[in-house]
Amino acid sequence: MRQWWMMVVATAAVLILFGGCRKDTKGSAELGASKGQVAGLTWGVPKRWSVAPEKPMRAATYSIPAEAGEAEGGECSVFYFGQGVGGDVESNINRWVSQFEQTDGPQKESKEVNGLKVTIVKIGGTYLAPSGPMMMASGKKENFRLLGAIVEGPQGSVFFKFTGPAKTVNAASAEFDALVQSLAK
């Protein structure tokens, strides 16, 4: 009887130890082989993200898959306007906040990543979905989020703006963080 009990305990231990080792790549922070670059900066692109077609005024655009139950996925746009162009950090944060109504208020954090000053912004609420050359609101999207990173690079500021349904953005936030942590000169 004791031998049987030891087998049960040993089997349970193995299941506990290795049961958590299954890798779920959905929402993981794994970067793929694809790299982005602009204005003297490079970054890794999360494995689940796909490069979207070119759009005016953008250095890059990435599509992020929608989470289950969401009608649309997310989008991460990368902007670079030139050295000394594009406004200061606070002006850009205020502009991003103004693209929301009924926000939960912006959360802001400044940090250094690989020798670069980076300001991270998190905003949630009803997104006014700006589009077109004048960035006019194209409709209200409730329960949306924005994760932003403003990077003070060697050739000027680079802006990363990730928007989408809250559930999708929350699920991909570790991927966005991995992209930011991969920034380098």
95: tokens are 């502009």
Q: Please tell me which residue, 133 or 71, carries the higher pLDDT value.
A: 71
Alpha helices by DSSP H, the chain: 2-19, 89-98, 166-171, 173-181
pLDDT digits (tens, 9 = 90+) for 136-160: 456 799 999 999 999 999 999 999 9
CA 43/CA 123 separation, integer angstroms: 23
Length of the chain equals 185
Show the domains of the chain with their CATH numbers.
Answer: 30-181 (3.40.1000.10)
Alpha helices by DSSP H, 74-139: 89-98
Closest CA to 30 of 178, 181, 184: 178
pLDDT digits (tens, 9 = 90+) for 25-69: 444 689 999 999 999 999 999 999 999 999 988 999 999 999 999
Is residue 154 within 8 Å of residue 183, measured between CB atoms? no
Buried b (16+ CB within 10 A) or exposed e, 69-82: ebeebbbbbbbbee
Q: Please tell me which residue, 23 or 102, carries the higher pLDDT value.
A: 102
Task: Kindly indicate the confidence band of residue 6, based on its pLDDT and cuts at 50, 70 and 90.
Answer: very low
- The reported pTM is 0.81
